[in-house]
Amino acid sequence: MSETEVVGDKQTITCLGEQFRVYIDRDRIQERVTELGRQISEDYAGKKPVLIGVLNGAFMFLADLMRSISIDCEVDFIKLSSYGAQKITSGVVHELKKIDAEITGRHVIVVEDIVDTGLSMSYLMEKMSSHRPASVTAATLLHKHEATKVDINLKYVGFKIKNLFVIGYGLDYGQLARNYPDIYILDEEVDA
């Protein structure tokens, strides 16, 4: 038996025994990602930005975002140590995969699926800045603004969301559900 499943009306999935409901559907996601891509294309015309995707969660947003960018751009990836299921925010972030791109003098856009406490993005902005790029900005599909503990400037934000557990479209529950094209929240939190 599979551990994730679309149920009935396609508004609901089960994942590891929990029921989730669509929170942001695929059409809204694609519409917003297209807008962000258009904005980035305008802002970075002639600058050939390097997009740095943060593995694993950002891979799907990054892929769609790049398809919406109409100017020359490059891509690379970085992977940080996960906080794990409990999201214990020790504040200590390690790099499991470093970037390969030479970003000194380049225009860098760090691309995340979600900014929660902001510790990962804050670390990444500082880390990228240490390479002396021409500029560094942050793009995130989701921002849990009420949970963010650090002062960070997020230039491109897809959706500001409440402090809810979200899965789908790259975001996981026990490494599962990243493959679903919509974003879901726990059914019990729908009216929270």
Whether 187 is catalytic:
no
- Give 50 or 54: the residue with its C-beta nearer to ligand PRP: 54
φ, ψ of residue 134 to 5 degrees: the values are: -70, -35
161 scored as a contact of ligand PRP (CB under 6 A) = no
114 scored as a contact of ligand PRP (CB under 6 A) = yes
- Give 9 or 151: the residue with its C-beta nearer to ligand PRP: 151
Interface segment toward ligand PRP; rule CB under 6 A; list 45-53, 54-62, 98-106, 153-161? 54-62
Could you tell me which of 137, 69, 128, 80 has the C-alpha nearest to residue 103?
128
In angstroms, the CA 24 to CA 21 distance is: 9
In angstroms, the CA 145 to CA 160 distance is: 6
Could you tell me which of 53, 22, 56, 55 has the C-alpha nearest to residue 181?
22
| Element containing residue 55 per DSSP (H, E) | strand 50-55
Among 118, 136, 161, 186, binds ligand PRP (CB under 6 A): 118
116 scored as a contact of ligand PRP (CB under 6 A) = yes
15 scored as a contact of ligand PRP (CB under 6 A) = no
Active-site amino acid positions: 116
Residues found near ligand PRP in the complex (CB under 6 A): 54, 56-57, 82-83, 89, 112-121, 172
